[in-house]
Structure 1
C-alpha cells in the first residue's frame, strides 16, 4: 500500500505524535509498504533530520505556536494535493489532525481517498486551560467533530479517549494503542554509576519525570515531591515552563532532552516514575517507564487508567492533587521491596506491546477501510 501520513508534528520535534509517526512509517517500510510523510517545516534553528529516514518527507510552510515557539503549526498548502497525486496514494493517515490534518482531510476527500484519523492530542482540554473558559473547548470539539466524522475511521489510543470522542458526537471510533520498544527500555540498563551521580551523598531514591515542560503538563506538582527527605527529583525534557520549574524546585536535577540509549538508562535508573499531566490521551513515557521495570505514580485520568494497574504496577492518584502525588511517592520511597515487586510486574505487563504488533494492527485498520477490504475489526466502543 501507498500510505500518506499527514502529521501535525515530526522530528526534530520531540513529542508523542512525532514519535508514533516515525514508528508507524518505519513499520510500513519493514512490511513492504510505501509511506510518504507530510509535515510542518521545522524552525530554522532546529536540528536537521534530512536524509535520516528511508521514505520521502515533504515539508509545508509553518508558523510558531503562540507561547510555544519550538512547536510549529503546519499551514494549509497546495503542496498536499500535488504530493498525494505524485505518490499515487492509496490511503491517507491523519496523525492528530487539527490544522494541517484538516487540510489533509479536505484534499483526501476531493481525491476520493479513504482516511484513517488518529486522535492523540487533547486539544479541547488545552483550549480550556489557556483560554480559561469553556468557549475555546467547545469550539475545539466542533472542529474535531468536523474532521473526524469525515474520516472512514478514527483511532483512539485509550478507552478514556474513545469514550470522550463518542460523548462529543464523534462516530466510528476504534481502539488503537501505542507500542513500546521493550528491547531499548529494559531494566537491564539500570546504571549504578548514573544513580550515584544524580543522587549525591545524602539521597537514596530517584524520582523522575520525562516529557515536555509546558504549563499543561503540570510538572509543578512535583515541587512537594522534591522536598521529601532522601528523594532526588530528576526532570528530563525541555520547554517554556522550565525556568519557572527550576525556581520552584531548586533541589531537582534538570537534564534537558535525552534520547535513545541515554534516555533508556535514565528510565531504568529511576526508583519511581512520576507522571503529572492530566490531559494525556495515552501516556507513552508511562509505558516506557513500566517497560524499564519502574513503578509509576500517575493521575487517575486519561491514558494512564489503561496503563497503570493501581496497586500492582504503580499508584493512581487524583489528578492535579500535589499532596496525593507526594504521599504516593513518599510511600513507595519508604518501601523498597514494594517498589521492586511493582517494577517486576510493570515489566511483565507491557513487554509484549511491541511496535511491530501494534503496527500490524494498524495495517489491518487500513485494509478494513480500503475498497474491497476484508473482514472488519472490533470497534473500541459501540458506535
Structure 2
C-alpha cells in the first residue's frame, strides 16, 4: 500500500484477548484486516488480574497493545471494562492517530473519547453491547434510564456511531443518538463452511442417526440458555451444547441427556458447527450475534428470537425460523418443524450459505475504512486531491 493512503488507527476497546467475547473477536478481526492492508494500529485495552499497565504483549499482526487497569461490572461479572485513566491521552498523543476507533465504549471508551476530543482527533464509536438488556437479565431493575443516559451522552460526543444491525440502528435513533451509520460484521467463510461437516463426529453425537440440534455460545444468564429445556425432549433429536460459562453446572442438571462439549475454538469449533443439523439461539439481547452468522456460513438452518441482530440475519422460511423472544412454545414448535422435515432442512441449508455471501471480513472492513476516511477527511487512494466525500466535511459539533 502507498504510505500516503494509509490510515493510523487507535482502537480503544473494553475487551481484548485473552478474553473471549464478541467485542474482543471483532477487534481482533479488524486489527488483522488493517495490518494486512498496511495501516498502522495501536490497541488500548483493559488488562486482566496481575497484568501490569503500560505497553503489553503484541496483539495480532504484532500491533502494540497498551494495557490499562480494568474491573468487572457488579451486575455482570463476566463483562470486564477498563477504568478511566489519563494513560489513554498519553498513548494517543504519542501515537498520533488519524482516527480513534471506540469498540463498544462504556467506561474506558469515555476516556478514549475525551482524549480524542482533547487532542482534536475524530472518533468512531461502534455500538456492540446491549448493556441495558444485560442489566435486566441480571435483575437490575429500573436501570434503563440511567444506562441510556450514559450511552447517549457518550455517543453524542463521537463523530459517528456505527450500529451492527437495523433494529439497533432504529433503537439508537429513537434514543436520540446522532450521526448514525450501519456497519455489520464479517464471517470467515473458510473457517465456517459446510465442508467441515464430519460424519465421524456426527456418529459420536447422534449414534442412532438422530437430528443434531445445537447451541453455541456463552453459558450465561443473558443468553437465556435455560430455554433449551423446552426442546430437550423432542423425539428424534440430540441436543449439543457448545460453550462454557457460569450457568454450565445448572444447565447440566437441567439437561441431563444433552452433550456438553465445553469451550471450543479453531478447527474443533468449525467441525462442530458444520456438523449440526439445526442451530438454536436463545438470547434476546443480541446487537448482532456472530454465532448465527457462523452457523449460516456452515450451511446450518437457524432458529432464533425475533429481536436485535438475528432479525437481519435470519430470513424466516428461507434460512431458518424466528420466534417471539422468550416464547418457549414458539421455540419448541420452530425446532420441531425442522427436526421433522429433512427436505426443508436441506433446502434451508443451501439458502443459509447463500445468505452470507459478500459478508467476508475483507468486504466489511472496506466499509469500516471508508468510515474512518470520511470522518478524518482523508481521501481514498484513487480519489483526486480536493474530491473527498462531502460527508467527511459535515461532522457536527458534539451535543
TM-score (norm 2): 0.90
Offset at residue 351 of structure 1 (A): 2.6
Matches within 5 A, 1:196-345: 196-201=203-208, 204-345=210-351
Kept in 1: contact 2:241–2:259 (CA 8 A):
yes
The DSSP-based 3-state class of the residue aligned with 1:160 is: helix
Q: How is 1:356-375 mapped onto 2 (pairs within 5 angstroms)?
A: 356-371=362-377, 374-375=388-389
Matched, 1:65 2:68: no
* Counterpart in the other structure of 2:396: none
Which whole-Å deviations, capped at 9, do the CAs of 1:244-285 have from their partners, x for residues lacking one?
111111111111111112111111000000011100111110
Q: Is the 8 A contact 2:75 2:135 kept in 1?
A: no
Which consecutive residues of structure 2, in runs of 5 or more, have no partner in the other structure? Answer: 1-6, 380-387, 393-399
DSSP 3-state at the match of 2:11: strand
Tell me if 1:100 matches 2:114. no
Q: 1:147 aligns with which of 154, 163, 174?
A: 154
1:128 CA displacement: 2.7
CA contact (8 A) 2:105 2:126 kept: yes
The CA distance in 2 between the partners of 1:168 and 1:319, in whole Å, is 21
Cα distance in 2 for residues equivalent to 1:124 and 1:63:
18
1:223-256 C-alpha deviation (Å, 9 max, x unpaired): 1211112211111111111111111111111111
* 8 Å CA contact retained: 1:13, 1:71: no
Residues 67 and 253 of structure 1, relative CA distance in 2, 3 Å threshold: farther
- Note if contact 1:180-1:287 (Cα within 8 Å) is conserved in structure 2: yes
Matched with 1:113 is 121
Q: Which runs of 5+ in 1 are unaligned?
A: 379-383
SS at match of 2:251: helix
Secondary structure at the residue paired with 1:169?
A: coil
TM (norm. structure 1) is 0.94
Q: Is the 8 A contact 1:41 1:72 kept in 2?
A: no
The 2-side partners of 1:317 and 1:303 are apart by: 14
Structure 2 counterpart of 1:79: 87
- Matched with 2:4 is none
- Give distance in 1, aligned partners of 2:336 and 2:390: 47
**Residue 178 (structure 1) aligns with:** 185
Q: Is the 8 A contact 1:94 1:115 kept in 2?
A: yes
* 1:124 paired residue number: 132
Is the Cα contact below 8 Å between 2:86 and 2:111 reproduced in 1?
no
Once the two structures are overlaid, the 10-residue window that deviates more, 180-189 or 232-241, is: 232-241
Query: Counterparts of 1:43 and 1:23 in 2: how far apart (Å)?
Result: 25
**Helix, strand or coil at the partner of 1:341:** helix
Is contact 2:301-2:320 (8 Å) kept?
yes
CA distance 1:337–1:192, shift in 2 (3 Å): same
How many residues get paired?
373
Match of 1:187 in 2: 194
Q: Does 83-92 or 279-288 show the bigger shift?
A: 83-92
CA-CA distance at 1:50 after TM superposition: 3.8
Residues 372 and 89 of structure 1: CA distance in aligned 2, closer, same or farther (over 3 Å) = closer
Q: Do the aligned partners of 2:138 and 2:221 also contact (CA within 8 Å) in 1?
A: no
> 1:68 offset after TM fit, Å?
4.9
Q: Are 1:365 and 1:377, in contact at CA under 8 Å, matched by a contact in 2? A: no
Counterpart for residue 35 of structure 1: 41
Match of 1:381 in 2: none
Is the 2:187–2:361 contact (alpha carbons within 8 Å) kept by the matching residues of 1?
yes
